[in-house]
């Protein structure tokens, strides 16, 4: 692919009309994205945001300096946000960094302009890795849907344009754009690195079309998911909207009943509730009255034969 074709494909996504803040890590993908966006939109409508987690010592400092130099060269305003993971924090470090990055990005666009959007440099290559990773760690069809090209005020122009990681590297090399490599991307202590370095090569050894087939499957499932979502909405409209009669829920095909229960849970919590669907049988077993925690902060309540889902009450202080 010629560099000009990459730019045109990003333009054709139609995602880059509003003013945009580009999440800039300094890697090849975000470097490519920033350069493309500036070329399409000019410097006045573009800003960059670099979140420095300080996780890699001198390498983190070098990432930050690279971003500063790149933005000076492109004459783009850069905001650098420094953050440190709380001491003793548990959980996945990469997940913490991702959540922080999007939270800072959301605050940044809100503080800049009401119509601003946040752009991330995810590519088609990231999409394949995401699908395979989620399939390994999370049951259910959503694992296979992958990342959305646009969700609210977050957009992924390279993903929408079906640009691969190899193509962003070629673009940067053609334009003489330097980028930074994150050693964590090859560190097999991280699951995503194992997917990239071990699983994907194994799948290519089975069939060199493996990645294309994964992406085609995700696209088909995304289209089918839209149909299923409407079926779920219709089942709820036929009932009570934010609730459903227990007998009506029991009368649905099991697959649809699970989706309805999950929808109720996610509407109640405002987040993903992948474990709720598996508790359909337990909810129906409550009879006309009862309550059951579904996981992920959701609690099913059956009262007078009607199933509703709310948030799990916070635990009181220990005595």
Report pLDDT digits (tens) over 201-226: 999 899 988 888 888 888 888 888 88
198 shares its domain with 244:
no
Q: What is the pLDDT of residues 38-86, one digit of tens each?
A: 999 999 999 999 999 877 788 889 999 999 999 999 999 999 999 877 7
Range of the domain at 169: 3-202
- Measuring CA to CA, how many Å separate 260 from each of 64, 124, 231, 271, 312? 46, 31, 9, 15, 18
User: Which residues are bridge partners to 298 per DSSP?
Assistant: 295, 311
Which single residue is written with the structure tokens 């007078």?
304
pLDDT of residue 298: 94
Q: Is residue 214 part of a domain?
A: no
Q: Is residue 220 part of a domain?
A: no
What is the share, in percent, of the chain residues with pLDDT greater than 70? Answer: 95
Q: State the pTM of this model.
A: 0.78
107 shares its domain with 179:
yes
105 shares its domain with 21:
yes
Token pair in block for residue 90 = 């548990």
pLDDT of residue 300: 95
258 shares its domain with 120:
no
165 shares its domain with 117:
yes
Number of domain units in the chain: 2
Which of 184, 202, 220 terminates a domain? The answer is: 202
Q: What is the pLDDT of residues 89-132, one digit of tens each?
A: 666 777 888 889 999 999 999 999 999 999 999 999 999 998 99
19 shares its domain with 160:
yes
Which of 93 and 231 is assigned the larger pLDDT? 231
Give exposure, 192-201, as e/b (b: 16+ Cβ within 10 Å): bbebbeebbe
């Amino acid at each position: 692919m010629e560099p000009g074709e990459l730019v045109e494909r990003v333009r054709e996504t139609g995602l880059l009309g509003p003013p945009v803040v580009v999440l800039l890590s300094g890697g090849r993908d975000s470097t490519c994205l920033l350069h493309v966006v500036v070329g399409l939109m000019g410097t006045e409508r573009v800003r960059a945001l670099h979140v420095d987690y300080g996780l890699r010592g001198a390498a983190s400092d070098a990432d930050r300096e690279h971003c500063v130099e790149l933005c000076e060269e492109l004459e783009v305003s850069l905001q650098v946000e420094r953050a440190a993971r709380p001491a003793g924090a548990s959980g996945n470090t990469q997940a913490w960094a991702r959540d922080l990055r999007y939270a800072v990005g959301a605050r940044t666009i809100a503080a800049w302009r009401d119509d601003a959007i946040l752009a991330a440099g995810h590519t088609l290559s990231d999409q394949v890795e995401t699908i395979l990773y989620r399939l390994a760690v999370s049951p259910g069809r959503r694992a296979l849907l992958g990342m959305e090209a646009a969700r609210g005020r977050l957009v992924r122009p390279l993903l929408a344009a079906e640009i691969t990681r190899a193509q962003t590297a070629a673009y940067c090399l053609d334009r003489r754009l330097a980028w930074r490599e994150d050693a964590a991307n090859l560190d097999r202590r991280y699951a995503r690195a194992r997917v990239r370095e071990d699983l994907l090569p194994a799948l290519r050894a089975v069939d060199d079309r493996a990645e294309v087939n994964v992406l085609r499957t995700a696209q088909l499932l995304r289209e089918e998911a839209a149909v299923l979502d409407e079926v779920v909405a219709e089942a709820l409209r036929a009932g009570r909207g934010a609730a459903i009669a227990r007998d009506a829920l029991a009368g649905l095909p099991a697959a649809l009943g699970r989706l309805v229960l999950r929808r109720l849970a996610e509407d109640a919590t405002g987040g993903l509730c992948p474990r709720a669907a598996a508790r359909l049988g337990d909810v129906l077993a409550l009879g006309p009255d009862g309550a059951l925690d579904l996981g992920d902060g959701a609690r099913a309540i059956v009262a007078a034969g009607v199933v509703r889902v709310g948030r799990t009450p916070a635990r009181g202080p220990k005595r």
